[in-house]
């Protein structure tokens, strides 16, 4: 650990342009000198013949060429500047627990990447890419020795394609970004009350009647699985049963506990509809369904959901109740455990291991199932203690739009795991972040995943001791920019969405406001009570980022100025510039909003932002004169800020934070 901490200090102090490594490698030892990237750059692959790895290295060089503007020679064995030595290709598809380690040595002469498997080689290429910075002599990589391997073998992103359909290009661009931060599991939530998203040839009414025409063909599914495989990512499909199944029942009402008819869900929230666990026909259907779907998804693990099953229909059904009595099933949880055991056997005979949300935990289930903990961290340790393997998702819900620091602070090996023995701890496989899609669309989903997902990726990959928030944010913000070149559009859609809100008029005043707010997540949006799957997601709350990078910078500046007003002149000037901008923005914003119904809800926010700007300027004046602000002023501003901290128009006015720091004289 000591060596690790020491290395990181070196990285941040010794380099002019600091490479933003994320996730942080286990060991980074800087050498002297650097490798200059120029048109003689050439990568050579030394391994067992492996066309897929060759293609990956080719893609890597092509990206490097675009990044540096240097036409590069691509792959070639003569005088390579980057030598990739991959001991063995490994399995055809990525598998849980394979060796993902690599070492990377860079000198002024060249770089050598060594990995036992294709997975490790891909991770090493990613790290090499992150080491490229612009120096005085052009693009360069510092001389360095890196040894790296993941802390957890299961590092996932769950994408919900059911609530809002996510087109193929959204899925693929997110796979590219996942690979860039060494995530290795794409958990694909493919069916829910609001949509059944996979073509089924055996039961075509599933996608024909359950998807509004928005589904993936089987060829498309295969293309995603191959695309993920080539990037070292496993694809774990989820078909959530027996609850969350309304979309199945539209075409096949006979599977339901109630007779139907059913319609595709348009509202959010938990539905009462559930498959009928008492009829053999349900299991016969699932048997055929799994036969088809397990052939599409090669991964060993198959997710059956199992969350939030409402007992109401089962309790009210005479058939289900008679069945429960006959089988000694005392309540709905016992009925679900019976159902899960049947399902588990159907999947086991096809070589699959079941994974489910934590509600599936029941003593009657075999110990090889994997539990995905979403309701709290305790159930993960509990599952591990009972002999189950588990992954953590509680604390990694991206749809709650919490700051990166919150997610970064959540560790699968939390205090609850302290009482576990070594073997039990090894059952904690890692974690998955969840991108539930009630309040995102194809246009906004990237901005709700990235860049915060990179912070979680680091939590799951890097040593537990990586905890420095300043370092994390600095690197995350740098990596965020780089991620856009991989294809995700988390930054790109911001400006066009603001311009759309202004009806095509110059959007600068809205931009000033948008930079000063943060979008709110599932809870506040659900409480607003106005959303269905048909509601356009086109408001400031959708365009605004979950966490304002510019406000964070102002908070840091405010803390420095409050602590040392005379010694932080550049920070004070930056604050003054931004506060003045806020103060002057309202008149322009009100003019822009005058006849625009889309902006009407933002008028009070804009006035508040101006008030914050004016208050901030007064506080800076006082600090610069060495005076304490008047008590009455402080009291009035404190009251105002308390009011402004309540969300409006489903956004937070983040701009309160730097002003609050000044108001409190730098105290928290």
Q: Which residues does the annotation mark as catalytic?
A: 308
Report the candidate in 556, 480, 544 with the shortest Cα–Cα distance to residue 516: 544
Distance of closest approach, residue 174 Cβ to ligand ACM, in angstroms: 19
Interface mask (CB under 6 A) for ligand ACM, residues 451-480, using x and -?
------------------------------
Interface mask (CB under 6 A) for ligand ACM, residues 308-327, using x and -?
x-------------------
CA 82 to chain centre: 31
- With a CB cutoff of 8 Å and minimum separation 6, the contacts of 464 are 151, 411, 413
Q: What are the structure tokens assigned to 122, written together? A: 């891909």
Of 140, 307, 438, 458, the residue at the interface with ligand ACM (CB under 6 A) is: 307
Closer CB to ligand ACM, residue 308 or residue 477? 308
Closer CB to ligand ACM, residue 306 or residue 616? 306
The pair phi, psi for residue 82, each rounded to 5°, is: -130, 120
Q: Over 514-574, what HEC string results?
A: HHCEEECCHHHHHHHCCCECCCCCCCHHHHCCCCCHHHHHHHHHHHHHHHCHHHCHHHHHH
Distance of closest approach, residue 456 Cβ to ligand ACM, in angstroms: 16
Reported as type and span, the H/E element at residue 109 is none
Distance of closest approach, residue 20 Cβ to ligand ACM, in angstroms: 32
CA 510 to chain centre: 27
Closer CB to ligand ACM, residue 162 or residue 224? 162
Q: What is the DSSP string of 581-606?
A: HHHHHHHHHHHHHTT-TTTGGGHHHH
**Residue 130: Cβ within 10 Å count:** 21
Distance of closest approach, residue 333 Cβ to ligand ACM, in angstroms: 16
Q: Which residue is nearest to ligand ACM (CB)?
A: 307
Neighbouring-strand partners of residue 157: 186, 433
Closer CB to ligand ACM, residue 358 or residue 586? 358
Closer CB to ligand ACM, residue 98 or residue 160? 160
Closer CB to ligand ACM, residue 308 or residue 468? 308
Q: Are 286 and 242 in contact (CB under 8 A)?
A: no
Tokens 């095509």 sit at which residue?
Answer: 504
Closer CB to ligand ACM, residue 151 or residue 189? 189
Report the candidate in 413, 561, 474 with the shortest Cα–Cα distance to residue 24: 474
Closer CB to ligand ACM, residue 429 or residue 651? 429
Distance of closest approach, residue 380 Cβ to ligand ACM, in angstroms: 14
Query: With CB under 6 A, what is the number of residues at the site for ligand ACM?
Result: 4
Q: Are strands 428-435 and 389-392 parallel, antiparallel or unpaired?
A: parallel
- Per CB under 6 A, 394 contacts ligand ACM: no
CA torsion through residues 520, 525, 530, 531, sign: positive
Neighbouring-strand partners of residue 154: 430
- Per CB under 6 A, 357 contacts ligand ACM: yes
Distance of closest approach, residue 374 Cβ to ligand ACM, in angstroms: 4
**Rounded-to-integer distance, Cα 616 and Cα 60, Å:** 47
Q: Are 383 and 367 in contact (CB under 8 A)?
A: no
The pair phi, psi for residue 88, each rounded to 5°, is: -160, 150
Distance of closest approach, residue 642 Cβ to ligand ACM, in angstroms: 32
CA torsion through residues 412, 418, 419, 423, sign: positive
Interface mask (CB under 6 A) for ligand ACM, residues 228-257, using x and -?
------------------------------
Distance of closest approach, residue 425 Cβ to ligand ACM, in angstroms: 24
Q: What are the structure tokens assigned to 467, written together? A: 């905890």
- C-alpha dist (Å) from residue 635 to 169, 639, 641: 52, 6, 10
Tokens 């060494």 sit at which residue?
Answer: 182
Q: What are the structure tokens assigned to 503, written together? A: 């009806």
- With a CB cutoff of 8 Å and minimum separation 6, the contacts of 556 are 571
Distance of closest approach, residue 429 Cβ to ligand ACM, in angstroms: 17
Distance of closest approach, residue 519 Cβ to ligand ACM, in angstroms: 20
- C-alpha dist (Å) from residue 311 to 115, 124, 257, 320, 321: 51, 49, 11, 11, 11
CA torsion through residues 332, 333, 334, 336, sign: positive
Distance of closest approach, residue 372 Cβ to ligand ACM, in angstroms: 7
Closer CB to ligand ACM, residue 215 or residue 357? 357
Instruction: Please report how many Cα atoms fall inside a 13 Å half-sphere around the Cα of residue 232, on the Cβ side.
Output: 32
b/e code 72-95 from CB counts within 10 Å (16+ = b): bbebeeeebbbbbbbbebbeebbb
Closer CB to ligand ACM, residue 239 or residue 374? 374
- Per CB under 6 A, 439 contacts ligand ACM: no
Of 41, 374, 394, 396, the residue at the interface with ligand ACM (CB under 6 A) is: 374
Summarize as ranges the residues that interact with ligand ACM (CB under 6 A).
307-308, 357, 374
């Amino acid at each position: 650990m000591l060596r690790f901490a020491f290395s990181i200090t070196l990285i941040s102090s010794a380099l002019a342009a600091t490479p933003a490594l994320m996730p942080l490698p286990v060991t980074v030892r800087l050498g002297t000198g650097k490798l200059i990237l120029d048109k003689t750059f050439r990568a050579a692959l030394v391994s067992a013949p492996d066309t897929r790895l060759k293609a990956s290295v080719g893609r890597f060089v092509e990206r490097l060429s675009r990044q540096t503007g240097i036409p590069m020679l691509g792959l070639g064995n003569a005088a390579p500047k980057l030598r990739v030595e991959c001991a063995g290709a490994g399995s055809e598809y990525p598998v849980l627990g394979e060796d993902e380690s690599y070492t990377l040595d860079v000198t002024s002469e060249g770089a050598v990447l060594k990995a036992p498997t294709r997975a490790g080689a891909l991770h090493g290429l990613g790290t090499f890419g992150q080491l490229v910075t612009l120096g005085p002599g052009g693009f360069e990589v510092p001389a360095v020795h890196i040894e790296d391997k993941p802390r957890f073998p299961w590092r996932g992103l769950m994408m919900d394609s059911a609530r809002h359909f996510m087109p193929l290009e959204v899925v693929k661009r997110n796979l590219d970004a996942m690979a860039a931060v060494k995530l290795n599991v794409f958990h694909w939530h493919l069916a829910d009350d609001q949509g059944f998203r996979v073509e089924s040839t055996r039961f075509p009414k599933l996608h024909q009647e359950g998807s509004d025409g928005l589904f993936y063909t089987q060829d498309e599914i295969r293309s995603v699985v191959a695309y993920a495989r080539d990037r070292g990512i496993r694809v774990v499909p989820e078909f959530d049963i027996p609850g969350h199944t309304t979309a199945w029942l539209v075409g096949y009402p006979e599977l339901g506990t109630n007779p139907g008819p059913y319609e595709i869900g348009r509202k959010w929230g938990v539905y009462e509809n559930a498959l009928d666990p008492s009829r053999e026909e349900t299991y016969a259907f699932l048997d055929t369904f799994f036969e088809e779907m397990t052939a599409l998804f090669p991964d060993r693990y198959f997710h059956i959901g199992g969350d939030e099953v409402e007992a109401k229909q089962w309790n009210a059904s005479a058939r289900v109740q008679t069945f429960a009595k006959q089988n000694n099933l005392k309540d709905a949880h016992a009925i679900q455990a019976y159902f899960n055991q049947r399902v588990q056997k159907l999947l086991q005979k096809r070589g699959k291991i079941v994974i489910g949300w934590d509600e599936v935990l029941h003593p009657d289930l075999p110990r090889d199932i994997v539990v995905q903990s979403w309701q709290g961290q305790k159930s993960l340790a509990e599952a591990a203690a009972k002999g189950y393997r588990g992954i953590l998702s509680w604390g990694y819900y991206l749809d709650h739009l919490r700051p990166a620091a919150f997610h970064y602070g959540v560790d699968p090996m939390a205090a609850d795991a302290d009482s576990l023995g070594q073997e039990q701890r090894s059952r904690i496989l890692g974690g998955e972040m969840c991108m539930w899609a009630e309040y995102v669309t194809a246009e906004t989903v990237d901005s709700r995943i990235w860049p915060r997902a990179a912070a979680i990726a680091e939590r799951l990959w890097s040593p537990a001791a990586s905890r420095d928030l300043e370092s994390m944010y600095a690197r995350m913000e740098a990596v965020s920019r780089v991620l856009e070149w991989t294809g995700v559009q988390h930054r790109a859609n911001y400006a066009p969405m603001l311009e759309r809100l202004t009806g095509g008029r110059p959007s600068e005043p809205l931009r000033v406001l948008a930079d000063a707010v943060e979008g709110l997540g599932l809870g506040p949006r659900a409480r607003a009570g106005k959303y269905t799957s048909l509601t356009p997601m086109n408001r400031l709350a959708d365009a605004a980022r979950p966490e304002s990078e510019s406000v964070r910078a102002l908070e840091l500046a405010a803390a420095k100025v409050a602590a040392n007003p005379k010694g932080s002149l550049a920070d004070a000037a930056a604050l003054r510039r931004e506060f003045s901008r806020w103060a002057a923005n309202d008149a322009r914003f009100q003019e822009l909003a005058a006849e625009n119904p889309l902006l009407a809800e933002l008028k009070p926010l804009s006035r508040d932002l101006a008030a914050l700007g004016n208050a901030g300027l007064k506080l800076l004046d006082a600090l610069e004169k060495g005076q304490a602000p008047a008590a009455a002023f402080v009291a009035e501003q404190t009251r105002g800020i308390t009011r402004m901290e309540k969300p409006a128009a489903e956004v937070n006015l983040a701009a309160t934070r730097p002003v609050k720091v000044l108001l409190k004289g730098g105290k928290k």
